[in-house]
Structure 1
Amino acid sequence: MSAPPTLTKASPPGDPGQAPASDDSGLKAGLKNRHLSMIAIGGVIGAGLFVGSGSGIAAAGPGILISYALVGALVVLVMRMLGEMAAAQPSSGSFSAYADRALGRWAGFSIGWLYWFFWVVVQAVEATAGAKILEGWVPAVPQWAWALIVMLVLTATNLASVGSYGEFEFWFAGIKVVAIAAFVVLGGLAVFGLLPGARNDAVGLAHLTDAGGFLPNGPGAILTGVLMVVFSFMGSEIVTLAAGESENPQRAVRQATNSVIWRIAVFYLGSILVVVSLLPWNSAAITEKGSYVAALDAIGIPHAGQVMNVIVLTAVLSCLNSALYTSSRMVFSLGQRGDAPRAFARTNRRGVPRAAILGSVAFGFVSVFFNYMWPDTVFKFLLNSSGAVALFVWLAICFTQLRMRGIILREAPERLTVKMWLFPYLTWATIGMILFVLVYMLTDDDGRTQVLLSGLVGVLVLAVGLVLDRRRRLSAAR
């Protein structure tokens, strides 16, 4: 039975914030500060922002801004809690390792495997999405071949070294960040008639209320919008996993945690505000072309569709790259703690957990196969059974932080360099918000399916975790 993780001693006063590169034996500090900074910034910009925002606008109208603000606030609070724990103890297992310590082996096992399951399914989703775009550019190569190519290329980069992952993600995330920032600036200028050559008539913020009001479908549409956008925020927590392989993990976690507010405000709220200001919320172009393409067309940006396809492809590859990395590091951590085959906990001389990467990508390939062979049955089941995992993970982070605060204060109070605001009241408020979203999902047809199937998978994994934990206890007592 492996011992639970313990807090390391504080760094010396002359080296504030510096911690060991990793508490995970075998991994190396191959991620530079610029890698971590861009992973943190780009982590909140998923392909779902570019592709799925149109349906949210159609459902809630301009009120979708409130939906994004509510979910954004939830993510900020969860990241603050996770940042508190990760700054005190950087680990490739992140919240799974903390749950192991604070709540019990069953909790770390359950949330770790659920998180791994979520990201290996994401591999199939993103590989297929990228393949569709590439097939449109080069139709001579079939879609399945493009999916295979992108999976193989990104698997190779992850196998090379953690620095290779970081370098690819630095450029992928950089393109996303520059694209969104440019969109917000150009769109903002166009909204107020300050963009030279823009085709649209400047209307200021009139479109926020001129097509049935700010909440044309009623206040209830805000909650509908919450269900449609909540999963596009998944990925913010990746930086806390990657911090364990960085040069200065504590500083990276602090920076990521402190900057999450402006990142969400600019990239999500800022860009969606531009869209609903440039176009009436009920414009057919938003759902037919996609919200960002429709907005670029509205201000006369040539070849807007192709420009956005390049950006979406970058976002897809970034998400796929992170899915490969995240799933492998989570199962590596599980292997270290004896909750996965020990082979997954081994690293090569470059500090790469090769077996963990290959094991994760193998399931990803199987998921891609299911997506092509049985998209409406087997793969749809995989999607639905992982659909609510994000909320389960956030809920586990909240309960873990409630216990970990006391552990940190007792064992290494000097490591409490990031603190959750208004503890424990905001933590409990966040738990209430997440539970409310889960309950509200039960009133929605698609949401109900996701909650029930994800809950079923969660119960099965939890049952396995409890059985294994009981066996360990009985074995230790003999």
Structure 2
Amino acid sequence: MTQKNTERQVTPADELDAPQELQRGLSERHIQMIALGGAIGTGLFMGAGKNIAVSGTSILIIYMLVGFFMYMVMRAMGEVLLSKLDYRSFADFVADYLGPKASFFLGWSYWLSWVVTCIADVVVCGGYMQYWFPHMSAWIPALFTLGVLCLFNLLSVKMFGEAEFWFALIKVVTIIALILTGGWMVATGWTSPDGVRASVHNLTDPAVFMPHGIAGFLAGFQIAIFSYTGIELLGTMTAETKNPEKILPRAVNALPLRIIIFYMLSMTVIIAVTSWAAISPDVSPFVLLFDKAGLPAAAAIINFVALTSAMSSANSGVYSSTRMLYGLSVEKHAHWQFRILSRTTSIPVRSLFFSCFCMLSGTLLLFLVPNVMTLFTIVSTLAAILVIYSWAMILVAYLVYRKKRPDLHVKSTFKMPAGVPMTWLTLLFFAFTIFIMLFDPDTLAALCVSPLWFVMLFVFWKMKEKKAQHKKSATQPANMGA
């Protein structure tokens, strides 16, 4: 019997030491669009209004800064991933350079971040569907969405790639339409019924640069960080990407241009057309702009795009949590059954079902809580804190890689710019973003809760170590007797 068939049987954990290989079913078309979709989160559609309202035109500087440091994270991750093509995800090189304990903490934290994000996204999907079906209970479309995404991920990795391709394409087309429409309105000096004239002056007016002072400027960083969550998704796809040494650098290097187009230009056009004073934190500025252009179906269009954006994020959550749990099992940080793959599609089905079960449980729990939006804000912030932790671990692993394996750095064809100094600067920036979360009540609540997760992980790690020691001591006398 072949090794491949043996691994697919339900056998004791000791018989599954050699992991099966995931299929490389993601093409360059999938990777490029997934990278693009990861750079355009739900925060851009739903959080842009609040961001502009609190930060004014200084939001352009905020998005540029956050985007710059995210690009540095991606370059660090890309260099280390491509230094050894055996790495399935960034969790693998964290284990290599920081040890099994760091890998345990990172893997489970990243898994939880996507489970929580997916719960929030499918709940939001239920709210979006109520726009067209106001009498429908929100849990029906929420659970239906989760079921459909689970099915997409169950069929094949190519099916996930196709679903994410089309979700991302809808977002891209909408933002390009927004930029072209807004540019035309500014060029023609469009004047809205309420007397606001589309003009570059709405951008250059000094009074709207920091309308709420430094406090408003700092508040914009929190929302911008949330918007970029998911950009690191490329780092979980290496094992399922065709020709990663060619495709991964292309996808990473395209990020700066995409950030400029989809964040900087869209924000610039929105402010120039609507003016800062007319932007409401409770209404999508995309809806406002299309309304001013005289499109009667603007609200329905944006609602559909926001729905697909949330589904895209949830789809990424199902995929990432499944692959991270599979990786944890391969490293023996999770139950051995989570590394078993399906016979036909090589999908880690048990990891998929467990992750979806946790998402299902969380979704039902959210509907039992009276103040859903408050809990939604807290869990979304918790997810962002966990992702910042993941980004920081990638950077720390890069520093150790540079110290321990200078030979690999010399041979690398995809070196991180300014290497070590830029890594330290990026880590300082992340520390700054965590610090400013202390000054907002909602983010402060999530910040206070997050240490409990790490305490729980520490307890489980100690239990795991103790179990391993007992197993080792139990086998030693038998070995000595033999």
Say if 1:437 and 1:474 are closer, same or farther in 2 by CA, change over 3 A. Answer: farther
Amino acid in structure 1 at the alignment position of 2:414: V
Cα distance change of structure 1 residues 417 and 48 upon mapping to structure 2, 3 Å threshold: same
Q: CA deviation at 1:441?
A: 1.5
Aligned-residue CA RMSD (Å)? 2.6
How far apart are residue 140 of structure 1 and its match? 5.5
Matched, 1:391 2:406: no
Query: In 1, Cα distance between the equivalents of 2:230 and 2:307?
Result: 17
1:440 is the counterpart of 2:436: yes
Counterparts of 1:246 and 1:319, CA distance in 2: 20
Which of residues 35, 41, 47 in structure 1 aligns to 2:42? 47
The answer on 1:417 being equivalent to 2:413 is yes
Q: TM-score, normalised by structure 2?
A: 0.87
**Pair 1:457-2:453 in alignment:** yes
Shift of 1:355: 0.3
- The change in CA–CA distance for 1:171 and 1:63 in structure 2 (over 3 A counts) is same
- Aligned residues of 1:155 and 1:324 also touching (Cα < 8 A): yes
Deviation at 1:209, TM superposition (A): 4.0
Take 1:24 and 1:86, find their aligned partners in 2: how far apart are those partners? 19
**C-alpha distance 463-402 of structure 1, shift in aligned 2 (>3 A):** farther
SS at match of 2:181: helix
Asked if residue 131 in structure 1 is aligned to residue 131 in structure 2, the reply is no
CA contact (8 A) 2:51 2:223 kept: yes
Task: Note if contact 1:35-1:166 (Cα within 8 Å) is conserved in structure 2.
Answer: yes
Share of identical aligned residues, percent? 30
CA distance in 2, matches of 1:211, 1:297: 27
Which residue number in structure 1 is paired with residue 342 of structure 2? 348
Whether the 8 Å CA contact 1:43–1:235 is kept in 2: the answer is yes
One-letter code aligned to 1:329: R
- Shift, 1:289, TM fit: 2.7
Task: Pick the aligned partner of 2:31 from 33, 36, 51.
Answer: 36
- Counterpart in the other structure of 1:468: 464
Q: Does 1:321 align with 2:302?
A: no
Gaps of 5+ in 1: 1-22
Q: Which moved more, 1:101-110 or 1:135-144?
A: 135-144
Larger Rg, first or second structure (1 or 2): 2
CA gap 1:128/1:255 in 2 versus in 1, 3 angstroms:
same
Residues 74-223 of structure 1: matches in 2 within 5 Å?
A: 74-90=69-85, 93-139=88-134, 141-193=136-188, 203-210=198-205, 212-223=207-218
TM-score when normalising by structure 1:
0.88
Equivalents in 1 of 2:95, 2:470: separation in Å? 18
Q: What's the offset of the Cα at 1:151?
A: 0.9
Q: Is the 8 A contact 2:120 2:379 kept in 1?
A: no
Q: Give 2:365's match in structure 1, choosing from 353, 363, 370.
A: 370
Q: In structure 2, the residue corresponding to 1:338 is in which secondary structure?
A: coil
Aligned-residue offset at 1:62:
1.3
Counterpart for residue 16 of structure 1: none
* Contact 2:116–2:379 (Cα < 8 Å) also in 1: yes
The whole-number CA distance in structure 2 between the counterparts of 1:92 and 1:341 is 20
Give the direction of change, closer, same or farther, for the CA distance of 1:167–1:384 in structure 2 (3 Å limit).
closer
**Aligned mates of 2:285, 2:171 — CA distance in 1:** 16
Displacement, 1:221?
Answer: 2.1
Structure 2: how far apart are the matches of 1:92 and 1:423? 21
Shift of 1:132: 1.5
- CA deviation string 1:324-359 (max 9, x = no partner): 001000000001000011111110121111001001
Contact 1:92/1:245, CA 8 A, preserved across alignment: no
**C-alpha separation in 2, matches of 1:327 and 1:97:** 15
- CA distance in 1 between counterparts of 2:310 and 2:443 reads 24
Matched AA of 1:279: T
- Residue 290 of structure 1 and its aligned partner are, at CA, apart by 1.4
Q: Offset of 1:466 from its aligned partner? A: 5.4
CA distance in 2, matches of 1:205, 1:167: 39
> In 2 relative to 1, CA 302–383 (structure 1 residues): closer, same or farther, beyond 3 Å?
closer
Structure 2: 5+ residue stretches without partners: 1-17, 477-482
Do the aligned residues in 2 keep the contact of 1:93 with 1:330 (CA within 8 Å)?
Answer: no
Q: Is the 8 A contact 2:185 2:198 kept in 1?
A: no
State the shift of 1:92 in Å. 7.2
Q: Which amino acid aligns with 1:29?
A: R
Select which of 279, 282, 288 maps to 1:294.
288
1:408 & 1:177 partners in 2: Cα distance?
39
Match 2:304 to one of 269, 294, 310: 310
Partner secondary structure for residue 216 of structure 1: coil
Q: Flag the structure with higher helix content.
A: 2
CA shift in 2, pair 1:203/1:179, >3 Å? closer
Post-superposition offset of 1:63: 1.3
In structure 2, what is the Cα distance between the partners aligned to 1:222 and 1:25? 49
Residue pairs, 1:224-243, within 5 angstroms: 224-243=219-238
Q: 2:275 aligns to what?
A: 280
SS in 1 for 2:332: coil
446-455 or 37-46, which deviates more: 446-455
